[in-house]
Chains A and B, each alone.
Chain A
């Protein structure tokens, strides 16, 4: 799997968007031919992806917000974003 470097800027590309699925009371990521069910952690990560901040800035922000060690957050966020990048749903620039 792709490894996310600290200076990488993750981007949600055109054609992919967060959507509040009111019928099923959940958040989803809508992408070409894909609907990805987001748990609260996935949603929290994607809400930080603004196309401006680097991976390490996103991790640092989440570590403060959730009062968790940077190493643990870094692993979770990296795995999540790399998985989406392999499927061309998130771009790592």
Chain B
């Protein structure tokens, strides 16, 4: 397999080890239709994917899910990833992690833990996670993670229901001695699309969140690094989705499909290859889904002649699909999109809607 000179090798891979999860967060980025446990890649198949990824140029591996700790072979998978030479990051709710298992993960060479936070107290966290007692279990496990000396990132997913807790979440990250924090305002893909009425922040909340993050960044410089994902629907320009389609990262689903981004299955025209059928490098360089939105040839106006196309690559393809009805359209977040007005109206209407009930994610 020869690399095409115009296509860079990927840096990062998101391995969704399983869709099983003890939590039922209503903003889960997993697809609404999920593969069952029986369809999951086994230990050997994942180990082979990790080795292929390292040879392809992947440096950073994110072990995610569902809840990756729901895989009984998690320790063996971490060991295989480290043997392959990958920087190994566990993205977890921490529920299901015991002190003994953390010790085994440490021995296997796990580099870093990213802990999700659904709320800063049990009332909020258990309601959002849909799991009573989950917050207490998480806090216990968080203590063990810190005690074991793992470098920690706290990942606070925030939305209209819990944005008022953002200052406390930042203080929790400091108290846990986390080096990094991710403050991510919910992005509307997967299950979150079913929950826009309940989760969409108001424009005022979105502005306030940006102010809080900016203040905390300068106050905590050298103590806590904060990465921030702003409220997409309320922005004027779109996010740099995936740092450019098929340029930086790839995603492998529990059953072995290789996706350019975790939401790519919402684009019905795309066909995805499986690691069970083809080498990973072949899929990355030659797969039709990866080549569909590489470069600029696929772009329409206003992107095609816009200077910002080098900055944001036209934004998010899945959002263009969801709101504008075609994946090659300009991301409607952009003020230059002909359907930007619709986006503004949606953001306004959803953020003021008090009639919605949370639709919880169901495990396969």
A residues in contact (CB < 8 Å) with B: 2, 13-17, 19, 21, 23-24, 28, 30, 32-33, 35, 85-88
Q: In the bound complex, do residue A24 and residue B9 qualify as a contact, i.e. CB atoms below 8 Å apart?
A: yes
Q: How far is the CB of A91 from chain B (nearest CB, A)?
A: 9
Q: Which residues of A contact B85 (CB under 8 A)?
A: 19
Q: How far is the CB of B281 from chain A (nearest CB, A)?
A: 11
Q: Which residue of B111, B149, B222 contacts A86 across the interface (Cβ within 8 Å)?
A: B222
- Assembled-state Cα–Cα distance A86/B180 (Å): 11
- Assembled-state Cα–Cα distance A28/B11 (Å): 12
Q: In the bound complex, do residue B222 and residue A32 qualify as a contact, i.e. CB atoms below 8 Å apart?
A: no
- Classify the interface of chain A: helix, strand, loop or mixed: loop
Q: In the bound complex, do residue B57 and residue A88 qualify as a contact, i.e. CB atoms below 8 Å apart?
A: no
- 15 further A-B contacts with Cβ under 8 Å, apart from A13-B179, A19-B85, A88-B180, are A15-B179, A19-B59, A19-B87, A23-B55, A23-B56, A24-B57, A30-B60, A32-B112, A32-B114, A32-B153, A33-B89, A85-B222, A86-B221, A88-B222, A88-B223
Residues of chain B in range 12-57 having any CB-CB distance to chain A below 8 Å: 55-57
> Contacts A14-B149, A15-B150: A33 and B227 contacting too (C-beta < 8 A)?
yes
Interface size class of B (residues with CB under 8 A): 20 to 34
Q: How far is the CB of B262 from chain A (nearest CB, A)?
A: 16
Residues of chain B in range 212-253 having any CB-CB distance to chain A below 8 Å: 221-225, 227
B182: nearest chain-A partner, CB-CB: A33
B residues in contact (CB < 8 Å) with A: 9, 11, 55-57, 59-60, 85, 87, 89, 111-112, 114, 149-151, 153, 179-180, 221-225, 227
> Contacts A24-B9, A88-B224: A33 and B180 contacting too (C-beta < 8 A)?
yes
- Assembled-state Cα–Cα distance A15/B150 (Å): 7
Cross-chain pairs A/B with CB under 8 angstroms, 10 sampled: A2-B222, A15-B111, A15-B179, A17-B87, A28-B59, A32-B153, A35-B60, A35-B87, A85-B222, A86-B222
- Assembled-state Cα–Cα distance A23/B8 (Å): 11
Q: Which residue of A14, A15, A35 contacts B11 across the interface (Cβ within 8 Å)?
A: A35
> Contacts A15-B111, A23-B9, A24-B57: A33 and B153 contacting too (C-beta < 8 A)?
yes
Residue of A13, A32, A87 most packed against chain B (CB within 10 A): A32
Q: In the bound complex, do residue B224 and residue A35 qualify as a contact, i.e. CB atoms below 8 Å apart?
A: no
- Assembled-state Cα–Cα distance A13/B59 (Å): 19
> Contacts A86-B221, A86-B222: A30 and B151 contacting too (C-beta < 8 A)?
no
Q: How far is the CB of A18 from chain B (nearest CB, A)?
A: 11
Q: In the bound complex, do residue A87 and residue B87 qualify as a contact, i.e. CB atoms below 8 Å apart?
A: no
Q: How far is the CB of B223 from chain A (nearest CB, A)?
A: 8
Q: Which residues of B contact A24 (CB under 8 A)?
A: 9, 57
Q: In the bound complex, do residue A23 and residue B57 qualify as a contact, i.e. CB atoms below 8 Å apart?
A: yes
> Contacts A15-B151, A86-B221, A87-B225: A32 and B180 contacting too (C-beta < 8 A)?
yes
- Assembled-state Cα–Cα distance A75/B11 (Å): 32
- Assembled-state Cα–Cα distance A30/B151 (Å): 13
Q: Which residues of B contact A87 (CB under 8 A)?
A: 225
6 nearest CB pairs, A to B: A15-B151, A23-B57, A88-B179, A30-B87, A32-B112, A15-B112
